Structure 1
Amino acid sequence: MTERSPTGETLHRLLHAYKRAMRDGYAEAGIERTVGEIRVLKGIARNRHGTAQHIADRMRQDKGRIARLIKRLVADGLVVRQPHPDDSRSQQLELTAAGRDLADRIAAVEARAGTRMAGGLSEADLARFTELAEAMIANLEHSQDNAS
């Protein structure tokens, strides 16, 4: 019988509860986008004038997959491509007015879910949770980088 990790199980349950809250929040807000599209849209909002490669690197995803997601967002009028001033092979990505509006709506849904999740916890508890979660992420990423 394999040994269970209580920490892993707790994180698994937290992730699923958060994902469920996000899906419900997006549905209530009328946001009908895939998780990938939402993540790319948020990445563009965070990194003004970024490129598909920047988004792919940050998300640790294949650039081809990111390019397909960006293509859908461009086709739907949420993102525009601009020539990169320093690299003629690259294009900068920017949100359109409709893309900024959607990014704002997504941020509002996430803020509500975060508030619900943190209900009743002190600022110190939240700061410690963030510190611990960042350390765990670094541990996992470090062990993955060493395995490569």
Structure 2
Amino acid sequence: MTFKKTAFTKTTSAGYLANHMARLFGHGLHRRIQPLGLAPAQFMTLLELWGEDGLTQKQLVERLDVEQATMANTLRRMERDGLITRCPHPDDGRAHQTWLTPTARNLREAATAAAQAQNDHALSDLSEDERGVLLDLMRRVVRTMKDSEDG
């Protein structure tokens, strides 16, 4: 597949636009979940744990594609804030499982509603079909970049 060559600027760079869009999404999400006492890194960690409670730090690092130190700091803050507890893994003495507290479980509805509101706002100028196309294209680009990292 060939692409039409255009001058490389911030408005023609997929990387620049994706990064800019991600920062704007992040700022909007932060404003919406801050009243719940959450930060974006905590929210994305909670999304994983709401889907599967009891994950290890290593599993969270892999699923969220973040640095080990970043995840360790996020989990430490979440434990301090009463969102998670960590217990030794029964089969791996070096690992700890991360478990949601009732406080974190009770935040699920409000936090996901806040994230949905941010998504709805950001995509409000797109039709339903355009939203679907955008999401499909984003998933394909992410998959391509992940595959090239793994290969």
TM tier relative to shorter chain: 0.7 to 0.9
Does the CA contact (< 8 Å) of 1:73 and 1:79 recur in 2?
yes
1:20 maps to 2:20:
no
The number of residue pairs the alignment matches comes to 143
**1:31 correspondence with 2:36:** yes
The reply on whether 1:44 has 2:43 as its aligned counterpart is: no
Shift of 1:98: 0.7
Shift of residue 120, structure 1, vs aligned partner: 5.0
Structure 2 Cα separation of the partners of residues 113 and 33 of structure 1: 15
Q: How far apart in 2 are the matches of 1:52 and 1:122?
A: 39
Is 1:82–1:91's contact at 8 Å kept on the other side of the alignment? yes
14 and 76 in structure 1: CA distance in 2 versus 1, 3 angstrom threshold: closer
**Aligned-partner residue type, residue 119 of structure 1:** S
Q: How many angstroms apart in 1 are the aligned matches of 2:77 and 2:24?
A: 28
- Structure-1 residue corresponding to 2:64: 59
For residue 94 of structure 2, give the secondary structure of its aligned residue in structure 1: coil
Query: 1:54 deviation in Å?
Result: 0.5
In the alignment, is residue 144 of structure 1 matched against residue 149 of structure 2?
yes
Question: Which residues in structure 2 correspond to 1:99-110 (within 5 Å)?
Answer: 99-110=104-115
Root mean square deviation, CA, Å: 2.5
Please identify, of 4-13 and 55-64, the stretch whose mean Cα deviation from structure 2 is larger.
4-13
Amino acid at match of 1:73: M
CA distance in 2, matches of 1:73, 1:98: 11
Q: Is the 8 A contact 2:33 2:39 kept in 1?
A: no
Change (3 A) 1:80 1:14: same
Q: Residue 74 of structure 2 corresponds to which residue in structure 1?
A: 69
Change (3 A) 1:69 1:16: closer
Q: Distance in 1 between matches of 2:22 and 2:73?
A: 26
User: Secondary structure of 1:81's partner?
Assistant: strand
Q: Give the conservation status (yes or no) of the 8 Å contact 1:36–1:69.
A: yes
Q: Could you tell me whether the CA contact under 8 Å between 2:29 and 2:40 is conserved in 1?
A: no
- Determine the structure 2 residue equivalent to 1:6: 12
